[in-house]
Amino acid sequence: MAHIVLLGDSIFDNRSYVRPGEPDVVRQLHARLPRSDRATLRAVDGATTAGVPAQLARIPGDTTHLVVSAGGNDALGRIDVLEASSRSIADTLMRLAEIGDAFRESYRAMLRAVLAAGRPTALCTIYDPRFPDPRLQRLAVTALTLFNDVVVRAAFAHGLPLLDLRLICDEHADYANPIEPSAHGGEKIAAAIALLVAEHDFARRRSEVFIR
């Protein structure tokens, strides 16, 4: 019997963003699981990587799997850099490198806490936003590669499976607003999680990427 716990931010805790009567991610995941399995939400809308350890303190004792989607709010907190002035390309790259270094340390600390819980764990990339302004959209997607590189490297370094939300949520209908998943997107995320838990062999400690 599997008991999947969702950690992180509003990618999972999207109840406030779906339309009235539509299911959120955790309800959609529960509906896809065998009757004997369960799904529990511990992710919190607005949480950064630094907030995940507090969520871990509240996981049920019978938790069998952890799925983490975190980092999007860390990136959102640095969106100001997209419009910051710069003396040169080198100056901009150095500023981005410093942001990447800080996120790497935060993400590593979060992942150490998650892995210390001793449950099979999967990570999620940060999906691309859907800003209506083409210029802001292009800048944001480019900047997010810095954050996603940290997530992907962490997954591969620890032999963890990875849900690439950039490829899972690839339609405008997947978004309730520029940065939150709709019920349509949540259904795709839930389906990918269910597939991962059913098919991935965590005992091999070998990374595998799931995109649907």
User: Is the per-residue pLDDT at 157 higher than 80?
Assistant: yes
- What mean pLDDT is predicted for residues 104-128? 97
Q: Are 212 and 192 in contact (CB under 8 A)?
A: yes
Take residue 161 and report the two structure tokens written for it. 């499976």
Q: Which domain holds residue 116?
A: 3-210
CATH number, domain of 163, equals: 3.40.50.1110
- Percentage of the chain beyond pLDDT 90 is 84
pTM for the model: 0.93
What is the Cβ-side half-sphere exposure of residue 104, based on CA atoms within 13 angstroms? 14
User: Of the spans 70-84, 94-108, 127-141, 149-163, which averages the highest pLDDT?
Assistant: 149-163
pLDDT at site 86: 67
What integer is the mean pLDDT of 168-193? 96
What tokens does 118 get? 């001793």
Alpha-carbon distance of 128 to 111, in angstroms, equals 22
Q: What is the distance between the alpha carbons of residues 69 and 8, in angstroms, rounded to a whole number?
A: 5
Flag whether pLDDT at 49 surpasses 80: yes
User: What was the pLDDT predicted at 88?
Assistant: 79
Confidence of residue 83 (pLDDT cuts 50, 70, 90): low
Overall domain count for the chain: 1
Task: Judge whether residue 84 has pLDDT over 90.
Answer: no
| Nearest-angstrom CA–CA distance, 175 and 150 | 24
Q: Are 160 and 115 in contact (CB under 8 A)?
A: no
Q: What whole-number distance in Å separates Cα of residue 138 and Cα of residue 162?
A: 24
Task: Give the model's pLDDT for residue 64.
Answer: 98
Per DSSP, what are the bridge partners of residue 66? 5, 121
List, in order, residues 6 or more apart from 157 with CB less than 8 Å away: none
The better pLDDT of the pair 77, 178 is held by: 178
pLDDT given for residue 6 in this prediction: 98
The pLDDT value recorded for residue 89 is: 78
CB 162 within 8 A of CB 123: yes
| Cα(172)–Cα(185) distance, integer angstroms | 9
Quote helix, strand, coil % in the chain, to nearest 5.
Answer: 50, 15, 35
